[in-house]
Amino acid sequence: MKKRKVFSLLLAAAMAAGVMAGCGNEEAPSTGGDSTETPDEEGTPDDSEKPADGKVYYLNFKPEADEYWQALAEVYTEETGVPVTVLTAASGEYEKTLKSEMAKTDAPTLFQVNGPVGLASWKDYCYDLTGSEIAGKLTDDSFALMDGDKTAGIAYVIENYGIIYNKALLEEAGYSAEDITNFDSFKKVVEDITSRKEELGFSAFTSPGMESSSDWRFKTHLANLPIYYEYKDEGINTTDAIKGTYLDNYRQIWDLYINNATCEPTQISTKTADDATADFVTEEAVFYQNGTWEYNNIADVGDENLGILPIYIGVEGEENQGVCTGTENYWCVNSKASEEDIQATLDFIDWCVSSEAGVNAMCKDMGFVIPFDTNLESENTLVNEANKYMAEGKTPVTWVFSTMPSEEWKNGVGSALTTYAADQTDANWELVVEAFVDGWAAEVAATK
């Protein structure tokens, strides 16, 4: 009886707090609403050269950088008086959010596309960035996303991914990174660790979570490799019909991931990237396929223990392959925004990559390598580890997954991978192949 009373008291308290929070918040929006009006009142008097009329609304794609963008936006607003709103879409939801936001009156002034495919649907909304200040700061023209003669997007981050590993654990198992030079040697190490799992107290791989918020690691990033090699063979950089020449390799590596992980292959549909991070940080697994952006979340393992390996899938000559390097983050300025907002947005992104505060936030806090001449030496161990492969003269794998026909295609492959993992039969792998090859053609046709 007593417990019940305590509980009901708690409930009452929670309710009261809820109501009060509700009231408290009612005031907040009104200041938010004001911010759209205040520039008109105070913008003009002090600096006539650059009136702070416009506002910036950034629809951010990278969830892991969200808090830093929020902070940076605040700094910018304090410095210039220009209001900056940052909204981050939940992962896997960018396309949906972008569409519903773009339909609104206060549409994002700054948004992202992932590459040529994303550009195709949004090119009418991309302001031509040719000749803008930020475009002039790019270290290489290839980092600009072109739509004919128009500079439609500008890459703002270069990232790497591969197989992150824990050096200490690998050593404990009796190996070092030198032992892994191709798929076969990798497989040997992995399977040896699995066979001694009990004795070692850790598994080879973190859980390959295929929960819909996290399956991009495999349906997109891992799938990049078979596509990359096929493009390389054919000497192309995009296609309307994928052949799937390297899908057997895709299967090999996927088998390795799912059968040597911390969890049963039937459980992966419920696991998230967060679970995998937890596995890695708690030292329950040696290998973790992810990218340099994950650094902040796994730094607890210790810089000296972090390394990154290329993803070998058993292709001839892969000893010379480096990690996957590229970008799927292009900034685009909404051409349908008002002129003041466009100008404010251009000023904002230029400030991000040129001012000290901006560059520091991007390079240090977010741990980005930015393709601008202001880039700072990275403090991100994973970035530095990845750069070693470049220094050794290995060929980085380019990010060709931005040529995947649609989200729909990725989802199809992802679901098929999950089904296959639960019941690893040839028939189920056929479904993956079908989703990969036929799905590609179908999606290309459907979105044309």
Partner 1 sequence: MKWKNKVSVVGTGIFTLLGIAYIMPILIVLMNSFKKKVYINKEPFVLPTEKTWNGLENYLTAIDKYELLSSVGWTVFITVGSVLVILLCTSMCAWYITRVQGRFTRGLYLLCVFSMVVPFQMVMFTLSLVADRTRLNTPWGIIIIYLGFGAGLAVFMFCGFVKSIPLEIEEAALMDGCTPLRTFFSVVLPIMKPTYISVGILETMWIWNDFLLPYLVLDLNKYKTISIAIQYMKGSYGRVDMGAVMAALIIAVIPVIIFYLSCQKHIIKGVAAGAVKG
Partner 2 sequence: MEKAMKRYMPIFVLPTLCAFILGFVIPFVMGVGLSFCEFTTVTDARFVGLSNYVRAFQDTVFRHSFWYTALFAVVSLVVINVFAFALALALTQKMRGTNIFRTIFFMPNLIGGIVLGYIWQLIFTGVLEKYNTALGLNEWYGFAGLIILVSWQQIGYMMIIYIAGLQSIPGDVMEAAQIDGATRLRRLFLVTIPMMMPSITICMFLSVTNGFKLFDQNLSLTAGEPSKMSEMMALNIFNTFYGRTGWEGVGQAKAVIFFVIVVGIGLIQLRLTRSKEVQQ
* Helices and strands (H and E) in the chain: how many: 18, 12
Nearest-approach distance from CB 131 to partner 2, in angstroms = 27
- Minimum distance between the CB of residue 358 and partner 2, rounded to whole angstroms? 31
**Nearest CA to 434 among 447, 446, 448, 419?**
419
Helix 407-422 / helix 426-447 crossing angle, nearest 10 deg? 170
> Which positions from 219 through 278 interact with partner 2, judged by CB under 8 A?
264, 266-267, 269-270
Residues near partner 1 (CB under 8 A): 11-12, 14-15, 17-26, 28-29, 32, 63-64, 66, 85, 87-88, 90-93, 100, 103-106, 211-214, 216, 270-275, 277-278, 297
Q: Of partner 2, partner 1, none, which one sits near residue 16, judging by CB under 5 to 8 A according to partner kind?
A: none
> How many of the other CB atoms lie within 10 Å of CB of 60?
21
The smaller minimum CB distance to partner 1, of residues 160 and 262, is found at: 262
116 lies in the site for partner 2, by CB under 8 A = no
Determine the Cα–Cα distance for residues 443 and 448; give it in Å rounded to an integer. 8
Site size toward partner 2, by CB under 8 A? 27
CB of 110 closer than 8 Å to CB of 57: yes
Strand partners, 86: 58
13 contact choice in partner 1, partner 2, none (CB below 5 to 8 Å, kind-dependent): none
Residue with Cβ nearer partner 2 (374 or 411): 411
Asked if 447 interacts with partner 2 (CB under 8 A), we say yes
Can you tell me which of 99, 188, 196, 197 binds partner 2, judged by CB under 8 A? 99
Show contacts with partner 2 in window 172-211 (CB under 8 A).
Answer: none
In the window 293-352, what residues touch partner 2 (CB under 8 A)? none
Amino acid letter, residue 40:
D
Nearest CB to partner 2, comparing residues 416 and 433:
416
Instruction: Collect all residues with Cβ–Cβ distance below 8 Å to 278 and sequence separation of at least 6.
Output: none
Q: Cα–Cα distance between 230 and 103 in angstroms, integer?
A: 38
State the residue for tokens 């270290």: 139
**Partner from partner 2, partner 1, none binding residue 95, C-beta < 5-8 Å depending on class:** partner 2
In what helix (H) or strand (E) does residue 420 lie, and over which residues does it extend? helix 407-422
Contacts for 191-194 with beta carbons within 8 Å, 24 or more apart? 191/256, 191/260, 193/260, 193/286, 194/259, 194/260
State which residue, 187 or 219, has the beta carbon closest to partner 2.
219
Q: Which helix (H) or strand (E) holds 39?
A: helix 2-46
Nearest residue to 203 (alpha-carbon basis) of 217, 214, 182, 189: 189
Any contact of residue 415 with partner 2 (CB under 8 A)? yes
Q: SS3 of 328, please?
A: coil
Each as own residue / partner, the long-range contacts of residues 433-437 (CB below 8 Å, 24 or more positions apart, any chain) are 433/244, 433/247, 435/409, 436/223, 436/242, 436/244, 436/247, 436/250, 437/242, 437/243, 437/244, 437/247
Residue 66's binding partner out of partner 1, partner 2, none, with CB under 5 to 8 Å set by partner kind: partner 1
Q: Which is nearer to partner 1, 50 or 99 (CB)?
A: 99
The Cα-based distances of 201 to 25, 100, 174, 282 in angstroms read 49, 48, 14, 11
Question: Which listed range, 41-49, 295-303, 359-367, 418-426, lies at the site for partner 2 (CB under 8 A)?
Answer: 418-426
CA distance 249 to 233: 15
50 binds, among partner 1, partner 2, none (CB under 5 to 8 A by kind): none
Identified binder of partner 2 from the candidate list 70, 80, 185, 212, rule CB under 8 A? 212
> What is the nearest approach in angstroms of partner 1 to the Cβ of residue 136?
32
H/E stretch holding 415: helix 407-422
Nearest by Cα to 366 from 56, 69, 112, 60 = 69
Q: Binding of partner 2 at residue 428 (CB under 8 A)?
A: no
**Residue of 419, 429, 433, 436 interacting with partner 2 (CB under 8 A):** 419
Indicate the residue among 380 and 406 with the shorter CB distance to partner 2: 406
In the complex, minimum distance from the CB of residue 201 to partner 1, in angstroms, rounded to a whole number: 17
- Taking the complex as a whole, how short is the minimal distance between the CB of residue 149 and partner 1, in angstroms? 33
Nearer to partner 2, 122 or 250 (CB): 122
Which CB sits closer to partner 2, 107 or 376? 107
Is 112 among the residues that bind partner 2 (CB under 8 A)? no
Residue closer to partner 1, measured from CB, 194 or 297? 297
Partner touching 418 among partner 2, partner 1, none, CB below 5 to 8 Å by kind: partner 2
- Kindly state whether residue 147 participates in binding partner 2, applying the rule CB under 8 A: no
Residue 126: DSSP 8-state: B
List of residues contacting partner 2 (CB under 8 A): 95-96, 99-100, 102-103, 121, 124, 212, 264, 266-267, 269-270, 406-408, 411-412, 415-416, 418-419, 422, 435, 446-447
